[in-house]
A and B are shown apart, each in its own frame.
Chain A
Amino acid sequence: MNVRKHPRLLAPGAVLAIGSVMVVAVGIGHTWSDALISEIFVVVIALFDFFLAGTKGDVGAIYRRRTDERQREVIMKSSRLAMLVMFALCYGVAFILIALNKNYWQEDVIGSAGGVAFFVGMTIFGVHDEVADSSSRGIMSTEEVKPPM
C-alpha cells in the first residue's frame, strides 16, 4: 500500500517499521517472548498514532504531514523543545554515569552528533555571505542605511 496516498498511515507505518526492527533485535538479544511483549507495545503506539493522525486539529495535520505555515512553525518550536529535553537528558545521564564510574560513550556520541547536526543545519539552511549582494542594503549589508529625508 502506498502510504503517500494514505497520509494517515505515515506515522503509524513508520512506528511499525522501526518498532518491528527493534522487536527483532530484542528477539535476537533476549528472548522471543520479550520480543512479543515489545511488539504489543509497538502496535499500541502505532494505533495511538493512527488515532492522532485522524484528529482534526494541528496534531492531526502534523501527523498526516498536511501542514500550513503556522503548523510548520509549531513543528519547529516543538522540535526545538524536544532537542533541548534530549540534550538535557543525554548530558544528565552522562554525568550520572561518570559519577558512577560507568561507560558513558553512548551519551557522548548522541550529544556530539546532535551538536554537529545543529552546526550542519546552520550551514545548510543559513544565509551565506557570498550569496548576499554587497551592493544591496538588506540585512546582510554592512553599509549604514540613512533614513529618508
Chain B
Amino acid sequence: MKNEVREFRRKRELSQADLAEGLGVSRQTVIAIESGRYSPSLPLAFRIAKFFEVPVETMFDPSEEEVQ
C-alpha cells in the first residue's frame, strides 16, 4: 500500500525516531511503513493520520488489487 508518511514526516522536519515515539511504535516499524514493506493495522493507520492531522485516505492509498 502506497503512503505519504515519509513526505508528511519530512514536511514536519521530524526524524523517524521522533515519529516512532509520537506513535508509540518502534523506529523499525516506521521504516517498514515508509518503505511500503508493512501495511499498518487500522488503529495505527488512524493514529498516523491523526498525528499529521489529515484524513486517513490522504495518508494511505491502497492499490486496485488490494481493494478488490
Q: What is the minimal beta-carbon distance from A114 to any residue of chain B, in angstroms? A: 29
Across the A-B interface, give the 5 residue pairs with the lowest CB-CB distance, nearest first. A68-B25, A70-B29, A70-B38, A68-B29, A68-B26
B44 touches A69 (CB 8 A): yes
Chain B residues proximal to chain A, CB less than 8 Å = 24-26, 28-29, 32, 38, 40-41, 44
> How far is A36 from B35 in the complex, measured between Cα atoms in Å?
49
A69 touches B28 (CB 8 A): no
* Chain A residues with CB below 8 A from B44, complex form: 69
Q: What is the minimal beta-carbon distance from A13 to any residue of chain B, in angstroms? A: 23
Additional pairs, 18, CB under 8 Å, beyond known A58-B28, A70-B28, A71-B28:
A57-B28, A58-B26, A67-B26, A68-B24, A68-B25, A68-B26, A69-B25, A69-B29, A69-B41, A69-B44, A70-B25, A70-B29, A70-B32, A70-B38, A70-B40, A71-B26, A71-B29, A73-B38
> How far is A61 from B41 in the complex, measured between Cα atoms in Å?
19
Chain A residues proximal to chain B, CB less than 8 Å = 57-58, 61, 67-71, 73
Q: What is the minimal beta-carbon distance from A67 to any residue of chain B, in angstroms? A: 8
Q: Which residue of B lies closest to A68 (CB)?
A: B25
Q: What is the minimal beta-carbon distance from A73 to any residue of chain B, in angstroms? A: 8
* Chain A residues with CB below 8 A from B32, complex form: 70
> How far is A71 from B28 in the complex, measured between Cα atoms in Å?
9
* Chain A residues with CB below 8 A from B26, complex form: 58, 61, 67-68, 70-71
> How far is A73 from B38 in the complex, measured between Cα atoms in Å?
10
> How far is A67 from B25 in the complex, measured between Cα atoms in Å?
8
